[in-house]
Amino acid sequence: MENSSSGPHASGAYRQSVARSESEPGRFWLDAAGGIEWDTPPTVALDDTEAPLYRWFPDGVMNTCFNALDRHVLAGRGETAALIYDSPVVGKKKSYSYATLLDKVARFAGVLADAGVVKGDRVVIYMPMMPQAVTAMLACARLGAVHSVVFGGFAAKELAARLDDAQPKVIVTASGGIEPSRVVEYLPTIVDALALSTGSVATVIVKNRTEVPGSAAEFSFPGTQWWDWDERSPFAAPHPPVGVAATDPLYILYTSGTTGAPKGVVRDNGGHAVAMAWSMENIYDIHPGDVMWTASDVGWVVGHSYIVYGPLIAGATTVLYEGKPVGTPDAGAFWRVVSEHRVKVLFTAPTALRAIRKADPHATLAEKYDLGCLDALFLAGERLDPDTWTWATALLEKPVVDHWWQTETGWAICASPRGLEKLPLRAGSPSFPVPGFQVGIVDEHGTPLPHLAEGNIVIKLPLPPGTLATLWNGDERYVATYLSAFPGYYLTGDSGYFDREGYLYVMGRTDDIINVAGHRLSTGSMEQVLSQHPAVAECAVIGVHDEIKGQKPVGYVVLKHGVTIAEEQLAAELVAMMREQIGAVAAFRDAVVIQALPKTRSGKILRKTMRQIVNGEDYVVPPTIDDPAAIDIIAATVASAAV
Ligand code: COA
Ligand code: AMP
């Protein structure tokens, strides 16, 4: 088994690659740029004239969709499977060859062009895990348009916030998604979001699903035309790929910030395609014809990078799974998909494994399937606890590779890059910095910390290709949020430490972001929702440890003076508000009424201390506390809940 106590050797491929990426970064990344096809190959790697905003491959011209589809067909691999759709929720399985997918994408690009979409226009995609979501993303890329995929679990208000920021010309959607407990109708949400939004959307294109009611013909909104995907697609002229500058945006993906307003991470075309190609080969060891299955959702960065772009740019086969790890129909679903589609690399979130383990602790359902095709299991999205790592390693007898990254970086900051070198793995650690990412640990003054000392994890600028170029409409916000705390470094917002052999340990966030079932959420925006309730004077939302989801949000609320309301009724109203304003994905189910929140004398809520108390961790009462009794109130609330 790949588990020993030593780190990488200086003469090994990993250290050699890191050394070259640091000593001659320009040459390193121009060589990597050879992994994709260019209309005009770049002669310059990095433009740093507007540092700390950097641009990769400034004189390169290419098209991302061409690299994901056309070039494989032109290379004679048109009949290779590009995408396998496997949906236990609708009982469908279908394989699409590269030639078929190219035809569908080129036609849908024609539909978008008929709707007036041209290079640089934004298109919001709000779809469940169906092949048309991938088609729509690639069609945007083909036109040089900028897609912004919004996860289906977000409610109208969150969708409207994204419409306001991205100002899309078109929304592409479906009649709805299927969750195990219910059918989720998307079209009423679209109408509500249009009503809440300040922008104007010219066209909504709807893919009708027989399983979910609702169609383009049944909905309307002033100033917006509604088109039926199936009526338009057959008649649209296939659109050729449009060459774009490497630095032009490919997509905007919104992620939780520390304020209520989501941040639109901007990904460029050229750097992204190069990073995808490099990572498929060197991190995942996936090559043309191999099958990769990323069990996530196209609404998240993991889905963008490793359901859609990475595998297709590599000429591999990607699996699009519309289902859950448990309950569709059972905890053997993942093993069935791996075995049936001969998956070489499975990538999912630790929470999915914990859910499988809870339902099937001894993995007896895995025994039914031949998992010999599986080379490695990659995990990311949240901390992989050593217990789950050990369980999965023993079950699969395969490398279980934790790797750490963020929406902002688009690909792994730290990993065990198996395509380069099969390095020993350690429980609890996502291993080592990937070439191109120079990772450091600093204290609050920016002073580097020694091995084993926990601090802020930072990355030296410039970040490598494929990472965020900026925030949409927000160069200043990008610099203020990420680049100002420690000049010359990108602030990850995570805290952690290196051990003596150079393994990184990522321990948690330093801000108010929490991770619920691998979904990143802002407690700040949840507090904004709770504080709108007429009975609530003030509140704090804290991430509490959860056995399956890693964390769950719990709201602590103080009532306005003189207000009387039954706690159960208040909790139910708050839960309903959260579902309506953020969405079911927030998984907000607990609200607790308390007499006071602990605060500093300047009025700042001591969220960190609250977090430590509710999670049963050691804590020190800060000397700046206003009323120490408030700490006792929280501690007593937690103690009574535990009884
Ligand atoms: N559209 C609409 N609603 C959605 C949704 C979507 N795409 N995805 C989730 N939801 C809803 C669920 O139906 C649920 O609603 P409910 O409160 O009415 O039951 C709510 O959001 C919470 O969903 P979820 O977080 O998925 O919890 P769960 O208890 O239904 O399932 C797991 C738990 C662990 C099985 C599930 O979270 C999971 O599969 N996690 C993997 C996460 C993942 O892949 N993350 C990607 C990051 S790499
Ligand atoms: P997201 O942007 O949704 O991908 O969430 C990114 C955040 O998830 C990171 O900043 C971390 O806090 C957390 N995260 C992702 N992967 C890991 C990992 N392998 N180990 C620990 N935390 C992780």
Residues, the chain, total? 643
Q: pLDDT tens across 272-322, in order?
A: 999 999 999 999 999 999 999 999 999 999 999 999 999 999 999 999 999
Using alpha carbons only, give the angle 571, 576, 577 rounded to the nearest 5 degrees: 100
- The CATH fold of domain 61-323: Rossmann fold (3.40.50)
Q: pLDDT tens across 400-440, in order?
A: 999 999 999 999 999 999 999 999 999 999 999 999 999 99
H or E element at residue 401: strand 400-402
Helix runs in 167-266, H state only: 187-196, 229-232
Q: Is the pLDDT of residue 604 over 60?
A: yes
| 518 pocket-lining for ligand 1 (C-beta < 6 Å) | yes
pLDDT at 260: 64
Per-residue H/E/C for 124-135: EEECCCCHHHHH
Could you give the percent of the chain with pLDDT greater than 90? 87
Residue nearest (by alpha carbon) to ligand 1 atom 5: 153
pLDDT at 181: 86
Residue 529: count of CB within 10 angstroms of its CB = 23
Half-sphere exposure of 344 (CA within 13 A, CB side): 17
Using alpha carbons only, give the angle 372, 375, 378 rounded to the nearest 5 degrees: 130
Q: How far is CA 405 from CA 305, 335, 379, 492, in A?
A: 12, 25, 10, 9
* Whether the domain at 61-323 and the domain at 522-642 fall into the same CATH topology: no
DSSP 42-108: -S-SEE-TTTTS-EESTT-EE-HHIIIIIHHIIIIITTSEEEEEEETTTTEEEEEEHHHHHHHHHHH
> How do beta strands 61-62 and 244-245 pair?
antiparallel
pLDDT at 603: 83
Domain segments of the chain as ranges: 61-323, 522-642
| 346 pocket-lining for ligand 1 (C-beta < 6 Å) | no
User: What pTM did the predictor assign?
Assistant: 0.94
Q: pLDDT tens across 436-456, in order?
A: 999 999 999 999 999 999 999
Homologous superfamily of domain range 522-642: ANL, C-terminal domain (3.30.300.30)
Mean pLDDT of all residues in 58-64: 98
Q: Is the pLDDT of residue 1 over 60?
A: no
Q: pLDDT tens across 97-114, in order?
A: 999 999 999 999 999 999
pLDDT at 4: 42
pLDDT at 412: 98
Residue nearest (by alpha carbon) to ligand 2 atom 20: 383
| 536 pocket-lining for ligand 1 (C-beta < 6 Å) | no
Ligand nearest to the Cα of 431, by number: 2
606 near 598, Cβ under 8 Å? yes
pLDDT at 336: 98
Q: Which atom in ligand 1 lies closest to the alpha carbon of residue 549? A: 34
Mean pLDDT of all residues in 156-163: 95
Residue nearest (by alpha carbon) to ligand 1 atom 18: 584
Q: How confident is the model at residue 261 (pLDDT cuts 50, 70, 90)?
A: confident
Mean pLDDT of all residues in 264-273: 98
